[in-house]
Chains A and B, each alone.
Chain A
Amino acid sequence: MVVKGKIKRGEYFDSVTLMIVTKQINGIAGITDAAVVMNTEENRSILDSSGLLLSEFDEAKGSDLLICIKADSDEIAEKAMLQVDEVLDKVRHSISDSEDFLPKSLETALKTMLDANLVLISVAGKYAAREAMKALKRGLHVMIFSDNVSLDDEIKLKKYAREKDLFVMGPDCGTAIINGVPLAFANIVNRGKIGIVAASGTGLQEISSIISNNGAGISQAIGTGGRDVKKGVDGIMFLAALDALKSDKNTEIIVLVSKPPAKEVLKKILGKVEDIHKPVIAIFLGADEKLFDGSKAIPAKTLEEAALIAVSLEQKKDKKSFQEKLQKRHKKVTEIAQKEVKTKNSEQKYVRGLFCGGTLCEESLIIFQYKIGDVYSNMSSKEKFQLKDSLESYRNTVIDTGADEFTVGRPHPMIDYSLRNRRILKEAEDPEVAVILFDVVLGYGSNMNPAEELVPVIKQAMKSAAKAGRDISFVCSITGTDQDPQNKKNVEKKLNEAEVYVMESNAAACELSGKIVEMLSEKFGEKENSHG
């Protein structure tokens, strides 16, 4: 076993490119491990933890590229090094050979695109604020996809933007739909009269997709980044976006989505809602419903419910009209659950929810707590139910695989399924598992072949369970539309063929999973997890 390292001075590549390169190098026979990363603090700690932080990297500077290869022999390592050069060179040239010269800075880009109006920023967090401020100073709206922007910088940017009447969506804003254009991780949805303000990325995706799939449409969907509604930023952009939708002539209905905002922020938001003469539907996942007492805002329990209320209103129906549809589903869910319960043995008691959408995981936690009692998670707000080890499930468990402990140095699980796929196989080995629940998020930016990557893994998991004499129910929802590049209908068909129950929303998938668990505990007489 040999470990070889190399510093390439001043060679900058974005993280996605480097991940692709790393993946290719790791695929070479005889390579045990490889890393091609920019020399940042975070990356150094990742290298360190995988034993790839060589002493020769000590002299590297921030703009240097680090290459480290662990291989069976010198020869293989050398070959891999050459291949890294080759691949990087190709990447470099695919940029420089493009028919025209690419500007190296915002100011130069603006000389060519004189009427630019929005800047989408996804450079490393520590540089993002500076680029954003440059854009704001030139009167441009900004969306910051990058995370790891300091709170101080976020406040400074948003205060400046408020003065100039500009948007700062983010930092850590994964999605937005402006003028019908999906930005970053977003779905292709119908245009319509429903405006969304979201401090939650997958929340926005789920709501906008359900709205579109039910025949209504989106006017604007504005992301703010999750921290906007917390203390410190105090909802600057959430409130500003609400104002913008209030006076937008193409928006007739407004949906607000977020994890529970800070108390004072929520007060301000509900205060503003009082001045809006358009229906405002609010879903603050996990927030106390009492907070809405006396408010004009229409509270929703789930993302789906928020979307369906909005659809009813856009279609000029009573806001309760969607409940008929939900009633029908309750019936269907019960039927499926009855069928699935029959195939389970008395050991199988628990659901394991494996999510790539953070808000979807949050939503499952809330639905399950209501339906089946105690649920453990890596993102539980209650310490008692916080998993000791995110890698080990316990009883009923839901996991956000997009949480920091899984994603540092890796692509997000919406793109790269490998981590969750391994977890699916692991859960299938557990004799106590009855249901495996998961989400599939479509749209630009996400994995382009979700069914092709999931189906073989699910089949394998089913096979290994069957070998042990068990049957596990697989339940999922697909966040997305038929217009998305992955095409929801196609993905659904392939998953159905693999005997996965594909439900029309995350709430529905949680409902089914919860129902199975509930009925199992009734059948086998254990109520240990229910509310005391």
Chain B
Amino acid sequence: MAKNDLFDKDLKVINIGLTSFKDSLEEVNTDVMQVDWKPPAEIEEKTLKIISDNHSYIEKENEKSLKKILSGTPFLVDLDIAIDVIPGMKKNMILHAGPPINWDRMCGPMRGAIIGALIYEGLAKNPEEAEKIAASNEIEYSPCHEHGTVGPMAGIVSPSMPVFVLKNEEYGNHAYCTMNEGLGKVLRYGAFSKEVIEKMRWMESVLYPALKRAVNELGKIDLKNIIAQALHMGDEVHNRNRAATSLFYRQIAPAVIKTNDTDIAVKVLEFINGNDHFFLNLSMPACKVTLDAARNIKGSSVVVAMTRNGTDFGIQLSGTGDQWFVGPAPIPDALFFPGYTKDDANRDIGDSSITETNGLGGFAIAASPAIVQFIGGAAQDALNYTREMYEITAGENNIYQIPSLNFRGTPTGIDVVKVVEKGILPFIDTGVAHKDAGIGQVGAGILSAPMEPFTKALKSLAESLEKK
């Protein structure tokens, strides 16, 4: 609008900064909108300059990534054994959550889960022996994410564990995830007692074959459809999976009964029914298989993996290949189970933030106000958390919607440029593990991602653009 045209209009002001200016404008009946501004993250001017010079190129590439994310079609197509199906899996390999890490730097719960896995694999007779093997060079550790796999909390996957097999039908890629063990003392929180191992053996010998038969009977299950419905039913499919688990149960139950003896079918269905989080191990790989299709788009600043190993918090960008960008993982702000406090909490852990990366979980918390109660928040807070996330995403989902935001699509495709420029960090809701091995979950809560991985990622992206 030219200068002299402004003189003929009613002044409409956007106020960035002192709120007293907004108040004064309101007093003289002028339309004003306050921006709740935050300073950008600290980053070299040079990086910002390259990024701003390449602004339209990055936006164009981000559109490509976003399109791939939005058009992904995750289906559950089979169950199988890790060693037989996960690419790059080896007999002496253990996959873990988060960015790469060696035994020395692993946190308590991750070590606990590895001890449990070695006993489960029959490679060790007791925890002491397992610890020795784990610390030796015999075992190779690798991030789940580098094998098309995701795992909640410690995210431990050992060669003989059964896994869900997912396929992104649109792009043909696959993803894998173990089955959820339920609550209480469980491997993913670093517990490795006898009952933990026994439950895993039951899952391998009874649950796995029964579900495999049922899934094969159905052919495939449309997970995108289940997630979309669950969002309308109060789930965000990270910390609340009650609706999605129920929807999955309705689909699988007839096939379980049809393909199994009654006593097995009863036990399998009771197991699923007794675990509100059963679907978490399907929502996570559904997000993974969707996001993996958006990898390796040069110049794209969209995050394709965001994950924690209990020590470090790491991300990967579409535009920077397999490179990890890490910083220390924070401790979540949580509601703790009776008898536990923040002092007991481990640093943030798990691949489950793949849900946020795909615009679900904390990004969709407006669909799941029950979750904000974990931190004593109000329903309005849930709406505001989601609305804030629109500031840092490349776009909005076409299928996943938030009823209370007038069915607006969930904020999808974290854009590292926006994160850094606006100083707004991805919001994650999560479970909290005890920092010592073998104890398990001590609470649930929320946290913001740390800034460091994002500034590092942006710097690297800028460097790659400079070379271009």
**A119 in contact with B16 (CB, 8 Å):** yes
The yes or no answer to A477 lying at the interface (CB within 8 A) is no
Q: In the docked arrangement, what's the CA distance between A16 and B10, Å?
A: 29
Q: In the docked arrangement, what's the CA distance between A461 and B10, Å?
A: 48
Q: B438-452 vs A: 1/0 string, CB under 8 Å?
A: 000000000010010
Residue on A nearest B23 in the bound complex, by CB: A444
**A117 in contact with B11 (CB, 8 Å):** yes
Q: A29-55 vs B: 1/0 string, CB under 8 Å?
A: 000000000100000000000000000
CB distance from B385 to the nearest CB of A (A): 10
The size class of the interface chain A forms with chain B is 35 or more
**B6 in contact with A145 (CB, 8 Å):** no
Residue on B nearest A167 in the bound complex, by CB: B3
**B28 in contact with A188 (CB, 8 Å):** yes
- Given the contacts A16-B18, A104-B37, A119-B16, A250 and B7 also touching, CB distance less than 8 Å: yes
Which chain A residues lie closer than 8 Å to B384 at the CB level? 96, 101
**B11 in contact with A10 (CB, 8 Å):** no
The yes or no answer to B464 lying at the interface (CB within 8 A) is no
Which chain B residues lie closer than 8 Å to A145 at the CB level? 17-18, 21
> Which segment of A240-248, A280-288, A522-530 sits at the interface?
A240-248
> For the complex, would chain B's binding face be called helix, strand, loop or mixed by DSSP majority?
mixed
**B20 in contact with A16 (CB, 8 Å):** yes
**B14 in contact with A109 (CB, 8 Å):** yes
Q: State which of B24, B35, B380 has its C-beta within 8 Å of the C-beta of A103.
A: B35
Q: State which of A131, A167, A181, A485 has its C-beta within 8 Å of the C-beta of B30.
A: A181
The yes or no answer to B40 lying at the interface (CB within 8 A) is yes
**B3 in contact with A115 (CB, 8 Å):** no
Q: In the docked arrangement, what's the CA distance between A105 and B30, Å?
A: 20
Q: In the docked arrangement, what's the CA distance between A12 and B381, Å?
A: 18
Which chain A residues lie closer than 8 Å to B451 at the CB level? 10, 63
The yes or no answer to B266 lying at the interface (CB within 8 A) is no
The size class of the interface chain B forms with chain A is 35 or more
- Given the contacts A117-B1, A445-B21, A12 and B423 also touching, CB distance less than 8 Å: yes
Which of B11, B13, B17, B33 has the most chain A CB atoms inside 10 A of its CB?
Answer: B17
Q: A93-130 vs B: 1/0 string, CB under 8 Å?
A: 00111000111111011101101111111111001001
Which chain A residues lie closer than 8 Å to B2 at the CB level? 165-166
Which chain B residues lie closer than 8 Å to A506 at the CB level? none
Which chain A residues lie closer than 8 Å to B381 at the CB level? 96
Q: State which of A101, A112, A179, A244 has its C-beta within 8 Å of the C-beta of B3.
A: A244
> Which segment of B225-233, B271-279, B387-395 sits at the interface?
B387-395
The yes or no answer to B15 lying at the interface (CB within 8 A) is yes
Q: In the docked arrangement, what's the CA distance between A178 and B3, Å?
A: 11
**A182 in contact with B28 (CB, 8 Å):** yes
Residue on B nearest A108 in the bound complex, by CB: B391
**B422 in contact with A124 (CB, 8 Å):** no
- Given the contacts A12-B38, A127-B40, A145-B21, A63 and B11 also touching, CB distance less than 8 Å: no
Q: State which of A14, A61, A167 has its C-beta within 8 Å of the C-beta of B19.
A: A14
**B11 in contact with A109 (CB, 8 Å):** no
- Given the contacts A62-B39, A445-B24, A115 and B422 also touching, CB distance less than 8 Å: no
Q: In the docked arrangement, what's the CA distance between A113 and B15, Å?
A: 12
**A167 in contact with B27 (CB, 8 Å):** no
The yes or no answer to A273 lying at the interface (CB within 8 A) is no
Which chain B residues lie closer than 8 Å to A108 at the CB level? 35, 390-391
The yes or no answer to B36 lying at the interface (CB within 8 A) is yes
Which chain B residues lie closer than 8 Å to A241 at the CB level? 3
Q: In the docked arrangement, what's the CA distance between A97 and B381, Å?
A: 9
Q: In the docked arrangement, what's the CA distance between A515 and B7, Å?
A: 44
Q: State which of B25, B37, B42 has its C-beta within 8 Å of the C-beta of A105.
A: B37
The yes or no answer to B12 lying at the interface (CB within 8 A) is yes
Q: In the docked arrangement, what's the CA distance between A237 and B387, Å?
A: 38
CB distance from A94 to the nearest CB of B (A): 9
CB distance from B333 to the nearest CB of A (A): 12
**B25 in contact with A131 (CB, 8 Å):** no
**B6 in contact with A167 (CB, 8 Å):** yes
**A444 in contact with B24 (CB, 8 Å):** yes
Q: State which of A16, A113, A123, A166 has its C-beta within 8 Å of the C-beta of B14.
A: A113
**A120 in contact with B16 (CB, 8 Å):** yes
**B41 in contact with A63 (CB, 8 Å):** yes
Residue on B nearest A240 in the bound complex, by CB: B3
**B7 in contact with A248 (CB, 8 Å):** yes
Q: In the docked arrangement, what's the CA distance between A444 and B36, Å?
A: 21
Which chain B residues lie closer than 8 Å to A112 at the CB level? 33
Q: State which of A115, A182, A248 has its C-beta within 8 Å of the C-beta of B4.
A: A248
**A141 in contact with B1 (CB, 8 Å):** yes
Q: In the docked arrangement, what's the CA distance between A121 and B381, Å?
A: 27
Q: In the docked arrangement, what's the CA distance between A130 and B41, Å?
A: 13
Q: In the docked arrangement, what's the CA distance between A433 and B10, Å?
A: 51
**B13 in contact with A116 (CB, 8 Å):** yes
**A63 in contact with B14 (CB, 8 Å):** no
- Given the contacts A120-B14, A182-B24, A106 and B7 also touching, CB distance less than 8 Å: no
Q: State which of B1, B4, B21, B38 has its C-beta within 8 Å of the C-beta of A104.
A: B38
Q: B356-400 vs A: 1/0 string, CB under 8 Å?
A: 000000000000000000000000110110011011000000000
Which chain A residues lie closer than 8 Å to B34 at the CB level? 102
Which chain A residues lie closer than 8 Å to B37 at the CB level? 104-105, 123, 131
Q: In the docked arrangement, what's the CA distance between A106 and B391, Å?
A: 10
Which chain B residues lie closer than 8 Å to A130 at the CB level? 40
Which of B20, B381, B422, B451 has the most chain A CB atoms inside 10 A of its CB?
Answer: B20
**B11 in contact with A118 (CB, 8 Å):** yes
The yes or no answer to B198 lying at the interface (CB within 8 A) is no
Q: In the docked arrangement, what's the CA distance between A217 and B327, Å?
A: 59
**B17 in contact with A141 (CB, 8 Å):** no
CB distance from B388 to the nearest CB of A (A): 6
The yes or no answer to B468 lying at the interface (CB within 8 A) is no
Q: In the docked arrangement, what's the CA distance between A167 and B4, Å?
A: 10
The yes or no answer to B9 lying at the interface (CB within 8 A) is yes
The yes or no answer to A140 lying at the interface (CB within 8 A) is yes
Q: In the docked arrangement, what's the CA distance between A119 and B15, Å?
A: 6
Residue on A nearest B18 in the bound complex, by CB: A122
The yes or no answer to B424 lying at the interface (CB within 8 A) is yes
**B17 in contact with A122 (CB, 8 Å):** yes
CB distance from B41 to the nearest CB of A (A): 7
Which chain B residues lie closer than 8 Å to A104 at the CB level? 35-38, 388, 391, 422, 424
CB distance from A163 to the nearest CB of B (A): 12
- Given the contacts A104-B37, A244-B4, A120 and B24 also touching, CB distance less than 8 Å: no
The yes or no answer to B129 lying at the interface (CB within 8 A) is no
- Given the contacts A63-B39, A95-B36, A445-B20, A181 and B28 also touching, CB distance less than 8 Å: yes
**B35 in contact with A109 (CB, 8 Å):** yes
**B28 in contact with A179 (CB, 8 Å):** no
The yes or no answer to A481 lying at the interface (CB within 8 A) is no
In the A-B complex, the 8 residue pairs with the smallest Cβ-Cβ separation, listed nearest first, are A122-B17, A444-B24, A102-B36, A165-B2, A244-B3, A62-B42, A122-B18, A123-B17
Query: What are 10 inter-chain pairs, A to B, with CB distance below 8 A?
Result: A14-B17, A14-B19, A63-B42, A95-B36, A96-B380, A109-B14, A117-B12, A179-B7, A244-B7, A444-B21
Q: Known pairs A117-B9, A248-B4. 9 more at Cβ < 8 A? A: A63-B451, A101-B383, A105-B35, A139-B1, A181-B11, A182-B24, A220-B7, A244-B4, A444-B21
